[in-house]
Structure 1
């Protein structure tokens, strides 16, 4: 007679070591001096995912034209946003690094990095390499995926760890523009202004991209039309930056209860003569003013920390443009910065199932 084999349950033991969390924002010059700004622009704009043209042409454009001539102008603008704590983008990043570490506890090691300049991704990953980590989680601070932002972070991280003899498990956060707490964070900020006074129109201004980058992202060549194809987000356009931005607007509009006709999605920061994704914010603003819109509340939901693009471009330059064409009141909604709900969002992104 056969004797039945008793299967003993083996207790699952926690893996040894800690988890590294690398939070990555775009970057900032080390100072608002012209040499430091020029150095930053060169690193940023020489990225083939940012200016996606042949390297010889890109080198001539960046080193021969943009960096020499734009650096002095950009340095002047950086001086306007610089604080006693340095760049707002880096300052808020350092606070988030500390607060996220507190929220996650001793089983995690949190490091802030910048895709361009300091603290570098290389430095953060090198620190992780010495710690015997079980896993590394990389969270690019870009709510909507784009090749020029999130994709560039992926590429840089993989370039570095690809040289390691031992590569631990690595998990990336691709995008989080649909995360309920991310949406709730901007909803809370918006309500603060909407409950205080009335606005004629709500503008959602996102950082722009060249149209060619959006079209290149459609590997089928059949989905992207740069038009009403962005009216919904689905499997075939889920990585389209423009479609993600319109989806973010729809989510915010729904939660804020903004009626149709009282809001616009647009795109800012375009450079050069080639077409960028539309509509352009600097063309929408005069149109709104000429239609009799006097009071605008402006969101920048592509940014999680205030920076040159939010504080100066949206907060100052667009206000001046609005007033030039007859507008009376322009209010920028600040970014999530170091708000508690932003920390909660990040904790969720770290701890969600792989």
Structure 2
């Protein structure tokens, strides 16, 4: 019992298991590059949205919102697409999901939402608690209507569109500000699967989405996505009849048309899954000059939740 080197080795082994994320635990990642279509200096001073020379390196993590380690990837759920831009002004994180809206818009309801979504015993979901929350918060039914279509059972991350949901602020060199929402569109098209096919794949190939992404990149069939934005000048925000920060509603495209920004291409797989994918840290608070967080209580709470979750996981 005096082999302290063995004790230290066992102690290190016990600490190899990192605490899991509250949401989006099961994920897969890939590296790539982002190429700008045109400079956006009229709207933002962010360097990676203005420099046409070269490309910006990115890392993307796809995930299931309620998927734990070992769970089936095709189960009905919300999917995340978090993009980290490695810019000259610092790392910028753009967190998106494949649904254009969120369950709630009030920060005080987030803890109740968490308990309604996560299984109480760690194994099975409490359907009664879930539907009681939805019934008591009718703004959630906009997302439910999207979730219970084939959009909730996707075919592949390569065919998945994604939305920022949150509203952010762009600021240009002249100190003019614009409210902005982002959207990623897969250039290979948008494809979903039926509930029956999703159930079949859950048993036949639980890691179907991960395998599909890895096999495509290894076969040099590189996934491509186009980034577009909707912009509202700050001085024109009051003219709209809706709250532009509200996450449970969609900005009308007729009033706020999409502007194409650039193309993202995924072309390289991580070499160490744990260090590069499992321990990758994304947060809305990771911004760069030219991009800001608006006065939004729920988004501020999300910034704290992501940052504090990372502090807990990296110990």
- TM-score band, normalised by the shorter chain? under 0.3
What TM-score results when the alignment is normalised by the length of structure 2?
Answer: 0.26
More strand by share: 2
Q: Determine which structure has greater relative contact order: mean sequence separation of CA pairs < 8 Å that are 6+ residues apart, divided by chain length.
A: 2
TM-score by length of 1: 0.24
Higher-helix-fraction structure: 1
